Amino acid sequence: MEKHATDSPSSLQQTPSYHIRTFGCQMNVHDSERMAGILAEAGYRSTDDPEAASLIIVNTCTVRDKADQKALSDLGRLRLLKKGEGEKILAVTGCMAEREQERLHRIMPEIDLVAGPAQVRNLLPMIDRLRAEKRFQLGRDFDLPEMTTPPAIRPPGVTALVTVQEGCDKSCSYCVVPRTRGPERSRPIASIVSEVRGLVSQGYREVTLLGQNVNGYGKGAPEGEGFADLLLALDRVEGLLRIRFTTSHPSDLDLPTIGAMARSSKVMPHLHLPVQSGSDRMLRLMERGYTLEEYREKIRHLRAAIPDVALTTDLIVGFCEESEEDFQRTLEAVREFRFDGAFCFIYSPRPGTPAYGREGLPDRSVSLDRFRRLDDLLTGMVLEKNRGRIGATEEILVERTDEASRTFSGRSPHFRTVRGRLSDPGPLPSPGETARVAVESCTKAGLAGVRI
């Protein structure tokens, strides 16, 4: 019988191992899952211990300065692990890798390999070249749209991330993403459907479709298939219970997509639609490509088709030239649209973006104050909305259970976190099942109640 590499302790020591650390958005999380798939197929095993790993990958984000600082301080610690050990590889991938390129190796010579987000599939050839040439490797190329094999290694669970679209053709003046993720590319529907079928057969029950501009899916595709077609195709996948997607751009939210959301039983009634600001002057300076009235019009259509839809958003405060009056427009917009949640950010100037170096940046203390006021308003609103659910019934997809406390948790269709307990001594629902919970209490973070 053939002997396997893991049979003897001595060969076990030679099995290469990897340790991946991930920063940034879900797209990066999924890129790490893909890299794990590639490495596992090549015989690497995963380790939680960077010291023991023969390959350390830091998958970085660069959307705001804070993201850069986090990755750099992590790398500053990890580089020390390389001392005296020639074989260990320290690799930097993701959006900061794409933006900084060889500069990373110049400031930290321990970094052996730098590869942008589109280089995931080139990881192994780059490692081979590094071993052969014994010199720093740099990879960048956006012309690599489709990758499904080897399969990504996802954490076992109920919900899976699936990248359907990558890159961004917009040019918001504050944003680095078009430079780090390149132009928009979409995967063919058939390939996505086949991946999702595979996920369902492994036990996943929900997918979150990912794209920088996910509802721009298929733009310019010769087949003319758009995001609505993708949603409807996935709606027919047997055994799949729920479909979510992020992030959508207001300009690309079209009536067919709204119609598909309304018609499909699996697409959840939740849309994350970043508005960024409530001031038309700011939207123009941000080069977002819509006015507040145009955003409002989209929401009108959306709420006409799906009256109870949950709406979440992203907001930036302290952008160049933002006055108190502009900021007031943002507060008004938040009150008007009654968002179910929002990610708020203080503008972070990014080198290489159109807005970089523009005059009129509010004082840091002013931006911080606006951030707090906005956050207070949103927190109050979310709490009020959650209180409004007390007495209602939520159907959740169970993600976790806890025997000790006899509770289970998951998300409602509207993406609220719900914790349920049992009123009887029966068995807990299993992850992947749906359960109905009568809501009894809430915090700003979610709802709690009893199974019915």
Q: Which residues are part of a known binding site for [4Fe-4S] cluster?
A: 25, 61, 95, 168, 172, 175
What are the strands of the beta sheet with 341-346, ordered from one edge? 270-272, 310-317, 341-346
Q: By the 8 A CB rule, do 446 and 418 touch?
A: yes
Interacting positions 275-294 with ligand SAH (CB under 6 A) = 276
Interacting positions 139-198 with ligand F3S (CB under 6 A) = 177, 180-181
Q: By the 8 A CB rule, do 170 and 289 touch?
A: yes
Could you tell which of ligand F3S, ligand SF4, ligand SAH, none binds residue 345, using a CB distance below 5 to 8 A set by kind?
Answer: ligand SAH
Query: For 271, what's the count of Cα atoms within 13 Å in the CB-facing half-sphere?
Result: 29
CA distance 337 to 357: 32
Could you tell which of ligand SAH, ligand SF4, ligand F3S, none binds residue 178, using a CB distance below 5 to 8 A set by kind?
Answer: ligand SF4
Check binding of 62 to ligand F3S (CB under 6 A): yes
Check binding of 274 to ligand F3S (CB under 6 A): no
Check binding of 78 to ligand SF4 (CB under 6 A): no
Minimum separation from the CB atom of position 23 to ligand SAH (A): 13
Check binding of 186 to ligand SAH (CB under 6 A): no
Could you tell which of ligand F3S, ligand SAH, ligand SF4, none binds residue 180, using a CB distance below 5 to 8 A set by kind?
Answer: ligand F3S
One of 61, 189, 230, 315 touching ligand F3S (CB under 6 A): 61
Check binding of 96 to ligand SF4 (CB under 6 A): no
Q: CA 303, 306, 312, 314 torsion: positive or negative? A: negative
What are the strands of the beta sheet with 17-22, ordered from one edge? 45-46, 17-22, 55-60, 89-94, 113-115, 137-139
Q: Which helix (H) or strand (E) holds 22?
A: strand 17-22
CA distance 56 to 59: 10
Q: Assign 262 to helix, strand or coil.
A: helix
Check binding of 63 to ligand SAH (CB under 6 A): yes
What is the per-residue binding string for ligand SF4 in 209-238, x denoting contact by CB under 6 A? ---xx-------------------------
CA distance 292 to 279: 7
Check binding of 212 to ligand SAH (CB under 6 A): yes
The stretch near ligand SF4 (CB under 6 A) out of 70-78, 84-92, 172-180, 229-237 is: 172-180
Check binding of 318 to ligand F3S (CB under 6 A): no
One of 181, 350, 411, 419 touching ligand SAH (CB under 6 A): 350
Query: For 319, what's the count of Cα atoms within 13 Å in the CB-facing half-sphere?
Result: 28
7: which residues sit within 8 A by CB, 6+ positions away? none
Annotated binding site: 25, 61, 95, 168, 172, 175
Check binding of 318 to ligand SF4 (CB under 6 A): no
Q: Quickly list DSSP for 406-426.
A: TEEEEE-TTS-EEEEE-SSSS
In the structure encoding, which two tokens stand for residue 368, read together? 């911080």
Phi, psi of 441 (to 5 degrees): -150, 170
Sites of contact with ligand F3S (CB under 6 A): 24-25, 27-28, 61-63, 94-95, 177, 180-181
Sites of contact with ligand SF4 (CB under 6 A): 168, 170, 172, 175, 177-178, 212-213, 249
Sites of contact with ligand SAH (CB under 6 A): 63-64, 168, 174-175, 177, 212-213, 247, 249, 274, 276, 314, 316, 345, 347-348, 350
